[in-house]
Homo-oligomer: A and B are copies of this chain.
Amino acid sequence: MTDATGSEAGTAWRRIADELEAAIGRGDYQEGATLPSSLALAERYGVHRHTVRQAFRHLADRGLVTVSRGRGTQVTAPRFPYRIGRRVSMRTNFGAAGISVAGSMLGAEIVAGEAEACAALRLEEGAPLWQVEALSLAGGIPVSTGVHLLPVARFPEFDRVFVESGSSITAAFKACGIPDYVRLSTRLSARIASEREALLLKIEPGAAVMVSKAVDALPDLTPIHLIDGIFAGERMEMVVEPFGELPSPPAGESGA
């Protein structure tokens, strides 16, 4: 049961895809650059446009290009790897790559905790929680936005401390006497960005976002922090490596 890919058309799209991939690898087309149109490439290779589109689809399936209606076929910028391990900190993740992280608090209020949130934080329903909305930028580009829920009893002045800590959760926790914390749980799914999220993250309306529902805890596993976060799907890649970091093949070695 082997596919028939030895046909003329099969060979042609593959050759076009391979040549485009090599050109991207060489940097002939930089990140974000638009590839020649399917019409132009069809003329250059003497094939039907359908064959070029098949090559585009192959490259898109491999994440090398992004095909969008009206904008043509663009070279995908590599997604930033964001490690979800026993400790998760945005500044650690980006800092390791020498990328500066900045954050801002969009709003903070004290709410009566809903049943589900209070259960996750092991509190009585209705316990007062900080509900803090924040935006995070890495290298000046918005990468995530989200709502943080924290017990007011443990963090009586979280709004002030968070702002004074430069909107860093890790720094705010330290200022509140919590030198270390762990990531208990992360639940990831995908959906289309809301209009507000697209505006905040500066992504196209209708773009895909990763939805992250996470729980941070003290080192003794007492949950203290819930995060409902939204990550720009085109900019980030969550990495889960339960046996530790893998040696990754050197970048840019796949072409030519």
Contacts and interface: CB of A to CB of B under 8 A. Distances in A.
Interface residues of A, number: 67
Interface string A135-155: 000000000000100000000
B238 A187 contact: yes
Interface string A111-151: 00011100110000000000000000000000000010000
Interface in A76-95: 79, 81, 84-86
19 contacts: A1-B160, A2-B108, A2-B110, A66-B191, A79-B189, A114-B254, A116-B253, A184-B243, A184-B246, A188-B188, A189-B210, A189-B236, A189-B237, A190-B231, A191-B233, A208-B209, A215-B246, A221-B243, A240-B240
Contact of A188 (B86, B192, B210): B210
Contacts of A233: 189-191, 208
Interface of A: 1-3, 5, 57, 60-63, 66-67, 79, 81, 84-86, 105, 107-110, 114-116, 119-120, 147, 159-160, 163, 182-192, 194, 196, 206-211, 215, 221, 228, 231, 233-234, 236-243, 246, 249, 253-254
Nearest to A240: B186
B228 A188 contact: no
A105 B249 contact: no
A8 to B, nearest CB: 17
Contacts of A109: 2-3, 5
A147 B58 CA distance: 12
A103 B115 CA distance: 38
A15 to B, nearest CB: 13
Contacts of A60: 194
Given A109-B3, A110-B2, A119-B253, A237 B188 contact: yes
